[in-house]
Amino acid sequence: MASLGPGHYPRAMSAPASLASKVSDVTAALIVAAGRGHRLGGAMPKQYLPLAGRAVLRHSLETFARHPAVGAVRVVIHRDDLDLYGAAADGLGLLPPVEGGATRQESVRLGLESLRELNPARVLIHDAARPFADAALIQRASSDKTLNSERSTLAVEVSV
């Protein structure tokens, strides 16, 4: 893989031109997948490990990409994972990925900054290593009345 600077990925991974018309005043999903999975161990980050025949990340990507309330999906990835990401996201028509930072907080910030040009009405942030988000969760999060105010936050409890 070629060396990539921060936030720069090949044109082949850009989103379809038709997506631009869907992004105005909608919900965007930001999937954070830049972690290394050191606590789990293993040869690759956990978001790329197989689960029921697909990468863990693919489960979340499909769920968010297919949900009618979500108009755009962007993934924050580690610079070393471009090939793994490409395989996991193949055919889903997502926005181009952005490179994450040294911490989860920095990766989320970089992902949010990358969405600035889209000006989404709201952004749902999801951890790529949590593959069991479903349509009902996305619907609740994207339609919650608290999300209609500026800078609101909705957190959903997950067991760890």
Residue 154 lies in a domain: no
What is the pLDDT at residue 5?
43
Integer CA distances (angstroms), 87 to 55, 111, 116, in order = 9, 20, 26
Is residue 149, in this structure, part of any structural domain at all? no
Residue 53: inside a domain, yes or no?
yes
* Measured CA angle at 122 (ends 86, 96), to 5 deg: 20
Structure confidence at residue 4 (pLDDT): 43
Q: Is 136 exposed, middle or buried (0-12, 13-18, 19+ CB in 10 A)?
A: exposed
Domain hosting residue 57, numbered range: 11-143
Number of domains in the chain: 1
Residues 6+ apart with CB under 8 A from 135: 63, 67
Any domain includes 156: no
Give 10-residue mean pLDDT values along the chain (160 residues): 41 46 72 82 85 96 95 96 96 96 95 93 92 91 62 51
Q: Containing H/E element for 32?
A: strand 27-33
Q: What is the pLDDT of residue 24?
A: 54
Residue 59 lies in a domain: yes
pLDDT of residue 11: 34
Q: What is the pTM of this model?
A: 0.78
Determine, yes or no, domain membership for 46. yes
Interatomic CA distance for residues 20 and 59, integer angstroms: 24
**Residue 20's domain is classified under what CATH number?**
3.90.550.10
Query: How confident is the model at residue 145, as a pLDDT?
Result: 58
Residue 41 lies in a domain: yes
| Residue 34, in any domain of the structure | yes
